[in-house]
Structure 1
Amino acid sequence: MNEKVSKRNRWMFGIGTIGRDMLYTLISMFLMFYLTDVLDLSDRIMAYITMMMVFVRIFDAFNDPFMGMLVDNTKSKWGKFKPWILIGALLTSIFTILFFYDFKIEGMGFVVIFTVNYLLWEISYTANDIAYWSMLPSLSKDQKEREKIGAVARICANLGMFTLVVGITGFTQFLADKTGSMQQAYFYLSIILVILMLFFQMFTVFGVKEDLENQIVEEQTTVKELFQIIIKNDQLLWISISMSIFMTGYITTTSFGQYYFKYIYGDINMYAVFAAILAVSQITALAVFPLVSKYFKRNTIFTASIGIMVIGYIIFFFAPTTTMLGIGIAGILLFVGQGAIQLLMLMFISDSVEYGEWKFHKRNDSVTLSLQPFINKLGNALASGIVGATVIVAGINESTDVSQVTQQGLDLLKSSMLIVPLILIIISYLIYRKFYRIDEVFYKQIITENQARLKEIKHEQKN
């Protein structure tokens, strides 16, 4: 693939996820806040909702490899990725709007409707997400080019995410003033985000030129082979376990953001300022990653990033709430470190495609890359459980005013947001260091042997 096409693909692929990540952020980070602080659901109903959210997310996480198998087994004149990107985007759009539509149903009826819609949303988004990210390895086998494609995509994803994170408080207040209620504000916001998602997805669907030579026609993957791909691909398995633990900690911290600034800092409007600082920090980390990777090995970058995050968590925990200085510094450290790690996670999983091809003589791009959304969803599920349980036990959900939350409740909120995630992130790093071994040298060996095997196969086919 020539340089002109490669550069075009970097941007068309990356731009496609801007609106997608804005919409995903609405559900992953702010749906819980919408339920507790906008709909003001009772502790009893929130307990049921939390349990259902955790159950559905775990179910959908384990459903991801099956979706990956479905994508891998797809054969069409548009390839195997783009049809599912489009189908998933359209269905996700419908179910996103239904989250915020007022069915005028309360109690257990609301729980049932919410659970069904949540399940359908997760399945629809899975189809889109797996097809989107599993396209990346097919665009290039070169590690450095993959880093460039991945960096642009992650920058665009973070641009979408932080646009919503920074703007949601002010924008929903603006819409609430216009519509007369915060509930209606979220409903119209969901419609706007759906339109943006579909608009930006068209850049990927119509703008990316796939490297069809990398999409080798293979036998269809069976369910038995599906489990072999995941379990016997030891590098994929260990990095997935490590990153699932990491993402549980990270998402737990970010999910508490609005609660922290409302109940501990005492000014929810500062959440937007904090988010803006984090956005610049994380996008900067992603932008400079390709440059840094020229001089340092991935293992070194990963270790340094974890170290930066650990320091950030410690500063955050002890930072005074009378000023943004300490919190801001901690946030920069956390999100610079996480920005590098989220890209490394994508690269580690992408390299596992070639490792699997080397080990099993079959690529299985989509099944392998399905572990990335699996990691995010499992992390989201466990984080939702931590957040949901915390806001109930701490007395936050039932409170009508900040002053009604006890100091013990605030301490529980702070510990769940900062101490628990710190422990999880350290555990994830120890697992990575002990078991993951695809470094730059080993990867070159894998590529060389895979190419030699393919040449041999083509030679045999000619004869």
Structure 2
Amino acid sequence: MKKTGFLTSSKERNSYGLWFVGQNIIYMMVISYLAIFLTDEIGLTEAVVGTLFLVARVWDAVNDPMLGAIVDKSQPKRGKFKPWINAVTLIMPIATIFLFWNFNGSGTFNVIYFYISYIVWGMLYTVSDIPIFALATTMTDNSDERVSIISIGRLAAGLASMVIGILAPQFIANLGYQTTIIVLMGIAMLTMIPLRFFVKERVLYKRSSVITLKSMFRAVFSNKYLLIFYGSFIAITSTMTSMTIAPYFAKWNLGDIGIQTIIMATMAIPMILLPIITPFLVRKFGKRKIFMYGIGSSILFSVIQYLVGYEQFGLFLILNALKSIGLLSPMLMMGIFSADCVEYGAYTTGKRNEGVIFSIQTFSTKLGSAISGALALFFISAFGYVGTATVQTEQALNGIWISLSLIPIVGLIIAFVLFGFYYKLTEKDVERMIKEMALDKTIAE
């Protein structure tokens, strides 16, 4: 079948990718280090921090779709999505600095301050995440080109994750949280700025001028593949306690938070390689098979890692890299699946709702990280972990290990069954839908 649409320039694609470097430096700092910062540095209890994560996500359940609808309804003069991205490029790094700032306040002050700053940060992250993924659908209407663009974004996100995983533990150990966050947020802002100048929105779609609460719900709940994919995604991310617990594992089980640098270094190759080869793998095998094989292999290596333990550190690192390859493969295609769901929704309902649909992606990401973060903290607290202690009990260390290695398997199994049995949307289906809807869009000259 002949492809439709326009090709983007390398400068555009690289600028789009660079923006993800900055965004994911911010995101990885929050999901990887905010919990341990609040428990071990600020002195909040694990129960307070876990509750904070969950309360913020309850607000997001209302807030994210509303912000998505606002993005859908807005018609800025200089593009539909870029004005939002340009604004948060400056604001979000500053908000992250405040999120990691220790004012040495009282217990009540700290609880109130971090509730406010974390909820505000979450709203700003939504305003960054919805437009940046939706932007790919207006840069080109060629499905292969979109896969390439979003894969570049995922490559950049992987690089950012690697930077945070390798540099942040060393920075924190030697410079402290405040200096670390200022330096990293400065880097994040600089990498996000080029998109403002080099990326262009080309494809304009006919849209409904009225977006109601009813239409928002319809956009989500009439899109069965959106629900299936993000049901699977939430199952994975809500049990991915390893993200939150990794700094605790390095600090207490291995004796030095800086050792997390070595753990992340073993994941550097898959983080860089997988996004590069994702377009080829999608064309060769299809997204569905990659998703299933990735999850299946991650389950296998996670079980082996738990049984082997971490006393043989070299073997632990190898198994950690192997299970990460399987896990990263489907996770890196999140934006690609979302773009397909946009086309499916437009085809079945006659209305394009990129903002609302990509808000589900953003909400699912934040919901999963919040649940997994809270689950990890509640779990190790039940095993006797005390953040202000100088040493941890053997039981607490065992709780950290189980949270790192075993709990994530539960979500992987749920996703394997849900996605494997019910997700049937193929690349050919999406191409056919785009072609049939070609008359419903105009191309901006």
Structure 2 gaps, min length 5: none
Matched, 1:226 2:216: yes
Give distance in 2, aligned partners of 1:313 and 1:367. Answer: 34
> Of 343, 347, 364, which aligns to 2:353?
364
Mapped partners of 2:275, 2:114: distance in 1: 36
Rounded to whole Å, the distance in 1 between the matches of 2:309 and 2:284 is 37
Shift of 1:399: 5.5
> Could you tell me which amino acid in structure 2 is paired with residue 255 of structure 1?
T
- Cα distance in 1 for residues equivalent to 2:135 and 2:386: 41
Residues 429-448 of structure 1: pairs in structure 2 closer than 5 A: 429-448=416-435
Which sits farther off after the overlay, 106-115 or 217-226?
217-226
Distance 2:269 2:227 in 1: 32
Which residue matches 1:242? 232
Is the Cα–Cα contact under 8 Å of residues 248 and 383 in structure 1 kept in the other structure? yes
Q: Deviations over 1:441-461 (max 9, x none)?
A: 222222232225x28xx9xxx
Name the structure 2 match of 1:414.
401
C-alpha contact (below 8 Å) 2:99/2:121 kept by paired residues: no
CA deviations on 1:43-90 (whole Å, 9 max, x unpaired) are 3xx422321221102322442121111111111121121121122333
* TM-aligned CA distance change 1:30 to 1:143, over 3 Å: same
Residue 270 of structure 2: which of 268, 274, 281 is its match?
Answer: 281
Instruction: Report the secondary structure of 1:377's partner residue.
Output: helix
Q: Distance in 2 between matches of 1:253 and 1:122?
A: 21
CA distance in 2: counterparts of 1:111 and 1:240, whole angstroms: 31
The TM-score with structure 1 as length reference comes to 0.89
Distance 1:267 1:173, change over 3 A: closer
Q: Which runs of 5+ in 1 are unaligned?
A: 176-184, 459-463
Which of 302, 317, 323 is the matching residue for 2:312?
323
Residue pair 1:20, 1:201 contacting (<8 A) in 2 also: yes
| 2:403 is the alignment partner of 1:400 | no
| Residue equivalent to 2:187 | 196
Q: CA deviation at 1:95?
A: 2.3
Q: CA deviation at 1:188?
A: 2.0
Q: Does 1:388 align with 2:377?
A: yes
3-state DSSP class of the match of 2:74?
coil
**Match of 2:178?**
187
Verify the 8 A CA contact 1:19 1:160 in the aligned structure 2.
Answer: yes
Deviation at residue 432 of structure 1 after TM alignment? 0.9
C-alpha distance in 1, partners of 2:208/2:312? 59
- Residue among 424, 433, 440 paired with 2:411: 424
Q: Deviations over 1:331-387 (max 9, x none)?
A: 212221222212322211110111111011111111111121111101011012112
CA contact (8 A) 1:399 1:405 kept: no
Residue 449 (structure 1) aligned to one of 432, 436, 439: 436
Report how many residues are paired: 438
Partner of 1:154, secondary structure, is helix
Amino acid at match of 2:13: R
CA shift digits 1:66-123 (9 cap, x unpaired) = 1111111111121121121122333323322222333331112210111111111111
Provide Cα deviations, 1:262-309, integer angstroms capped at 9, x if missing partner. 333344332111101112222212211122223212222112111221
Q: Distance in 2 between matches of 1:17 and 1:444?
A: 26
Aligned with residue 29 of structure 1, among 29, 32, 50:
32
Give aligned-pair identity as a percent: 26
Deviation at 1:217, TM superposition (A): 4.8
Q: Distance in 2 between matches of 1:449 and 1:79?
A: 25
Mapped contact 2:162–2:271 kept (Cα < 8 A) = no
Cα RMSD for the two superposed structures: 2.0
Equivalent AA in structure 2 for residue 101 of structure 1: W
